[in-house]
């Protein structure tokens, strides 16, 4: 019989700032308002792809769990061994799974550390926030704006012809640095500027998403849906008026309804009850405002084997990042978007040994490759979309990453 690998979780006596603990330039992180989980070192990692990638990820995670002897004196979500995941948008691209050697978590007044192996409890040292600066020069393409507006126009025509109701189109930009790009600097800046978002890093994909795709905690499931966006001006009175106009915008409300319905329909088969508010609220971020709805549900007790992987398989891709109907929208994206999204707009976050977890949609993010980074923005296109306004919205959505890299 093979020797089991010890995994130990114990309380921490003090509450340390999570992002300042990361000792190397390959962190994994999922942090919001100072709470969450971070990790470093790699105990095991793999990639999965194809239409069965969520099932393949579960199979690999369960096999890893069978090799562990877990001692957990803390208990609760995110304690014990944790899998960090970053799934691709399309089944054709690779998804990444990582089990860190060391994980530190914080929730409320509870902090903990988990480590894999027979070594004693790792010492924690704060990493000074004055990290390496990322100086980025962006590739320029004077025709990219007009080309993207043409794609939006083409999508609107297809929608008006009745082929589909909504499609989300994305665009990307590549920036280059004289040095390797430091993800920890980006995480620090995003967390400081956008504390109400979830700052994340997995295998070089780093960002701050405002959209929680799935939180699964003891049979309770939550999904925050964002669709419908307007830029902020920085003038409080003006922004309140803009928020009111967003809440009344027929174009944005139409886009939002499709996104909410796609999530509610995906959750319904697993739940004895779901709560879908009648009207969205306006979520205020530093640079933009979104229409937002929190969909919640209670999982049916008789569905004993439903876990985060099961629900992700049904939720992704939601109308917030793909469109409605899903199949037609995905086909149109493949036809006219003109790029591979990689892990942009895919689920990103963590899953624990119980199958619970928190995963967002990888938005407001960039993929680091040594001294270059590829950043993304997407917009929901419906029958009333205007290409110039969608272009402006995409630029607003690029601000967090451009600012974090400035």
- Select the more confidently predicted residue: 81 or 303: 81
Instruction: State the pLDDT confidence band at 133, using cuts at 50, 70 and 90.
Output: low
Q: Is 345 exposed, middle or buried (0-12, 13-18, 19+ CB in 10 A)?
A: buried
Q: Of 1-5, 7-11, 24-28, 279-283, give the range with the top mean pLDDT.
A: 7-11
Residue 132: its pLDDT value, please? 62
| Neighbour tally for 277: CB within 10 Å | 12
For residue range 349-369, list pLDDT tens digits in order: 999 999 999 999 999 999 999
Q: What is the mean pLDDT of the chain?
A: 92
Instruction: State the pLDDT confidence band at 297, using cuts at 50, 70 and 90.
Output: very high
Residue 53: its pLDDT value, please? 97
Q: What percent of the chain has pLDDT over 70?
A: 98
CATH 3.60.120.10 fits 5-118+138-404, yes or no: yes
Which has the closest alpha carbon to 170: 362, 323, 325, 380?
380
Which has the closest alpha carbon to 167: 156, 183, 182, 179?
156
Residue 126: its pLDDT value, please? 87
pTM: 0.93
What does the pLDDT average to over 6-11? 97
Are β-strands 5-11 and 68-72 bridged in parallel, bridged antiparallel, or unpaired? Answer: parallel
Alpha-carbon span 281 to 384, nearest angstrom = 21
- Select the more confidently predicted residue: 129 or 48: 48
Instruction: State the pLDDT confidence band at 14, using cuts at 50, 70 and 90.
Output: confident
Q: Could you state, in order of their start, the residue ranges of all structural domains in the chain?
A: 5-118+138-404
For residue range 225-240, list pLDDT tens digits in order: 888 888 888 899 999 9
Residue 135: its pLDDT value, please? 79
The answer to whether the peptide bond before residue 325 is cis (omega within 30 degrees of 0) is yes
Residue 265: its pLDDT value, please? 92
Cα distances from 284 to residues 102, 209, 277, 305, in angstroms, run 34, 13, 18, 37
Residue 144 pLDDT more than 90?
A: no
For residue range 159-206, list pLDDT tens digits in order: 999 999 999 999 999 999 988 898 999 999 999 999 999 999 999 999
Burial 227-258 (b: 16+ CB within 10 A, else e): bbbbbbeeeeeebeebbeebbebeebbbbbbb
């Amino acid at each position: 019989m093979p020797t089991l690998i010890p995994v130990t979780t114990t309380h921490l006596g003090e509450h340390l700032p999570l992002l300042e603990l990361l000792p190397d330039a390959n962190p994994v992180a999922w942090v919001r308002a100072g709470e969450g989980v971070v990790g470093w070192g790699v105990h095991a990692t793999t990639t999965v792809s194809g239409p069965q990638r969520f099932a393949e990820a579960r199979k690999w995670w369960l096999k890893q769990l069978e090799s562990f002897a877990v001692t957990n004196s803390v208990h609760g979500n995110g304690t014990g061994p944790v899998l960090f995941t970053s799934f691709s948008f399309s089944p054709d691209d690779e998804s990444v799974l990582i089990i860190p050697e060391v994980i530190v978590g914080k929730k409320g007044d509870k902090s903990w550390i988990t480590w894999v192996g027979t070594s004693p409890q790792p010492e924690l040292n704060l990493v000074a926030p004055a990290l390496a600066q990322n100086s980025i020069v962006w590739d320029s393409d004077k025709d990219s704006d007009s080309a993207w507006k043409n794609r939006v126009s083409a999508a609107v025509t297809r929608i008006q012809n009745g082929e589909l109701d909504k499609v989300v189109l994305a665009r990307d930009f590549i920036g280059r640095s004289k040095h390797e790009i430091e993800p920890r600097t980006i995480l620090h800046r995003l967390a400081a500027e956008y504390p109400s978002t979830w700052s994340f890093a997995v295998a070089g994909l780093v960002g701050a998403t405002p959209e929680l795709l799935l939180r699964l905690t003891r049979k309770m499931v939550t999904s925050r849906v964002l669709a419908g966006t307007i830029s902020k001006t920085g003038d409080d009175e003006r922004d309140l008026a803009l928020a009111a106009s967003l809440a009344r915008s027929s174009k944005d409300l139409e886009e939002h309804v499709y996104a909410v319905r796609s999530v509610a329909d995906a959750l319904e088969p697993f739940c004895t009850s779901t709560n879908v508010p009648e009207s969205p609220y306006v979520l205020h971020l530093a640079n933009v405002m979104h229409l937002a709805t929190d969909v919640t549900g209670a999982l049916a007790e008789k569905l004993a084997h439903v876990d985060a992987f099961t629900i992700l398989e049904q939720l992704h891709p939601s109308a917030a990042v793909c469109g409605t109907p899903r199949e037609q929208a995905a086909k149109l994206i493949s036809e006219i978007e003109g790029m591979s999204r990689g892990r942009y707009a895919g689920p990103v976050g963590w899953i624990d040994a119980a199958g619970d977890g928190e995963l967002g949609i990888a938005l407001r993010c960039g993929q680091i490759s040594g001294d270059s980074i590829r950043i993304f923005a997407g917009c929901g296109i419906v029958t009333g979309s205007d290409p110039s306004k969608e272009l402006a919205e995409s630029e607003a959505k690029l601000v967090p990453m451009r600012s974090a890299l400035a």
